[in-house]
Chains A and B, each alone.
Chain A
Amino acid sequence: MIRNLTNRILVIALVLIVALWIDLNDKITIPNPFDQNTNLFERNVKPRLGLDLQGGLQVLLEADLPESAQVTRDSMETARAIVENRTNALGVSENVIQVAGDRRIVGEFPGAEDADAILDIIQQTGLLEFVDMGDFTPEEGSILQTDYLPGSTEPAAQPSDGSTVFHTVMTGKDLSSVNVGQDPNTGEIGINFVLSSEGAQVFGAYTSANIGKTLAIVLDKVVISAPRINDAITSGQGTISGNFTNATANALAVQLRYGSLPIPLKVVETRIIGPTLGEDSLQKSLLAGTVGLVIVVLFMGTYYRLPGIAADVSILLYAAILFAVFKWIGVTLTLPGIAGIMLSTGSALDANILIFERLKEELRAGRTLRQAFDQAWSRAWPSIRDSNIAALITAGILFWFGSTFGATIVKGFSLTLALGVLISLFSSLYITHALLALAFDIFKPKNYERWIGI
């Protein structure tokens, strides 16, 4: 019925072993045989649960710029990295920050309870400016108007109402590194910074031309310190001094290090899912899945007998492989994702049912078991193929659109559906086929009516 059946069974066993290995571990490591302390391969395959299953905070941020303003992919990516760094600094683990579409960023913080702390830290603009004060020395803590406009390199025009607008020489984005240091002589705590080569040029040129003038260091329009320029600083290094304690200096350094956002962001959506709601739906969905699966297994076994049992085994393998693939790729499981899994499990079963109905039909038409067996798969194939291709087309388009507008709900559904459909094809066409051939080989049923349930 199948040539090379042994090989097929071996392939299936191998796939199962790998799948179970991934399923049962949270971390896959292959140790280096030559060096005890390092691993040849390491991958974290902890299952990832979506916020709707786990509880937590979800925030959708949007570029706070007019529709017409061009937002580049690069600047969105930078903003994403900054948000990620800032929130990681909070010590919340397993955050997921993703760019969604052209101008949005989705942040997910599983298990986070204090939404405000997270929102605060994300929304900090942390805009550092070095401002040309001329001969005027502002007080620390005073608020300045500067001509810096986000995204623009040109200085803004002076307002007509007579208030003074100071010129920004350079912003924090030219900083390449920042750390906290202590002056060995005075014991004063300061923030040492190193500029990028471009920044060093600007800074060098400016400080050489303005010796004796005041250069204010301004964070979010608030003056931190306003030192006088004593020497030209051409080395690209300098220190911000102010009345810092160790803690305030560190906090400022973090803000500076993770930079000012290249684009201002506003919060357009916040979701807090309480841990009870999340836990509840996870528990219930697991229970429902298990009970549903048991009933399906029993039904298939009683209605289709031997083929049904083969299909049962193949569905269980399907579940093991699917779960392993999810863990491997790092698919985040959400309720829509579970709907996608159910649909693809349905189509895995459907493929089996199509084949078995075909098998019965061919047997009733008087074919031998061997003929009917071969016919069942080849005759059911076009319909399985076409219906699954249609499902894959739909899943593909939904995934594409899901990525562009950031509707994670659509994306999660389409991803699990597509993976499920592909694995279901493998399960019904390859695994069931081999298992049933093996079963017929072993039992060699004479009165197959009883074994197949005609």
Chain B
Amino acid sequence: MNILGKRYYFFALSLLIIVPGLILLFSSGLPLSIDFKGGTLLEVKFDNQSPTPSDIIAAYDEANIKDTQVQSSSTGSFVIRSEFLTNENRDIILTALRNSYGNLEVVRFDSVGPSIGEQVTSRASLAVAVSSLLVVLFIAWSFRGIQNAFRYGICAILAMIHDVAIIFAITAYGAKFLGWEIDALFLTALLTVIGFSMQDTIVVFDRIRENTNIYRRLDFENLVNHSIVQTLQRSINTQLMTVEFLLLALIMFGGVTLQEFASILLIGLLSGTYSSIFIAAPILVLWENREWKHWFKRKATA
């Protein structure tokens, strides 16, 4: 099985998903939830009467609250997003709604000041950056016995960045077509995928490390290809286990927010396995062959 020979197809496939997604993301802005940009989410369920979304927006306007968006959920409740509500404002709104439409139950009330989200985002990115750096150093150290040990760490991180890019791209599509938002659970999904991606890549790299000592006469490309094929069964089974496990969770959870979380996780974990085989190892070969020297030459001669 010659996987590496088709490496440019795999790169192209990934770019085909990532590039339009990221363009979409940057052109329409990050679909941040209130967790990150601040604001209020109020989910209410009315006992008897049900107002229309525009009724609710009118009630908010009356209380002088801006940026109101109303979504009715499948369970018959309303998810109302607005600017940051103080507790007094919340009471005003709830009283107004109760007076007009009868008794209601507050299912969820999230109110987040704008400064918090910014800090969480920047600190979390810093945390990911620091742990990536440490992982590069660790892999370089752990692979010190073989040539160009540093490359392995960097390729593992490139594969991880690939997975993160895939997640953001998919989220951009989800935001465009399904109304997804980047919330705190998104952050969890992202962290899970990053963890999984690194583990998966290291397993493939470990096999390359081992084979380097066994097949000394094999050229690097064949060696890597051989290593991928050897670990393929394990990759498929592990993927089946983790994703199957999570896929079921996804189906069972069902809730609106969790569905989004589980979908992102599912795609991210798939991408994690894909990237360790079709991105990380091929980049290693690309680097070994210094293929970028030929990229433009080939074009010129063709």
Contacts and interface: CB of A to CB of B under 8 A. Distances in A.
B21 to A, nearest CB: 23
A357 B203 CA distance: 13
A398 B194 CA distance: 12
A387 B205 CA distance: 10
Interface stretch (A131-139, A189-197, A238-246, A278-286): A278-286
Ranked nearest first, the 6 interchain pairs of A and B with the lowest CB-CB distance are: A383-B206, A288-B252, A346-B242, A401-B127, A274-B107, A272-B109
Interface in A342-386: 342-343, 345-347, 349-350, 353-354, 357, 361, 379, 382-383, 386
Contacts of A398: 127, 131, 191
B199 A391 contact: yes
B81 to A, nearest CB: 14
Interface stretch (A11-19, A88-96, A205-213, A404-412): A404-412
Interface in B62-120: 87, 91, 105-113, 115-116, 119-120
A402 B126 CA distance: 11
A293 to B, nearest CB: 8
B127 A299 contact: no
A394 B134 CA distance: 8
B184 interface: yes
A123 to B, nearest CB: 9
Interface in A133-164: none
Contacts of B237: 303, 353, 357
Given A280-B255, A386-B206, A291 B248 contact: yes
A393 B187 contact: no
A293 B246 CA distance: 10
B56 interface: no
A353 B249 contact: no
B167 interface: no
Interface residues of A, number: 71
A116 interface: yes
Contacts of A438: none
Interface string B236-276: 01101110111011111111001001000100000000000
A271 interface: yes
B248 A292 contact: yes
14 contacts: A60-B116, A115-B87, A116-B91, A274-B108, A281-B255, A295-B244, A296-B241, A342-B245, A342-B246, A354-B203, A383-B203, A387-B206, A394-B191, A409-B187
Contacts of A116: 87, 91
Contacts of A353: 234, 237-238, 241
Given A270-B109, A393-B135, 17 more contacts: A269-B110, A270-B110, A271-B109, A271-B111, A272-B109, A273-B108, A274-B108, A288-B252, A336-B184, A343-B242, A346-B196, A353-B241, A382-B210, A383-B207, A389-B142, A401-B124, A413-B188
A271 B187 contact: no
B113 to A, nearest CB: 4
A340 B194 CA distance: 12
A289 B110 contact: no
Given A357-B233, A413-B192, A346 B241 contact: yes
B202 interface: yes
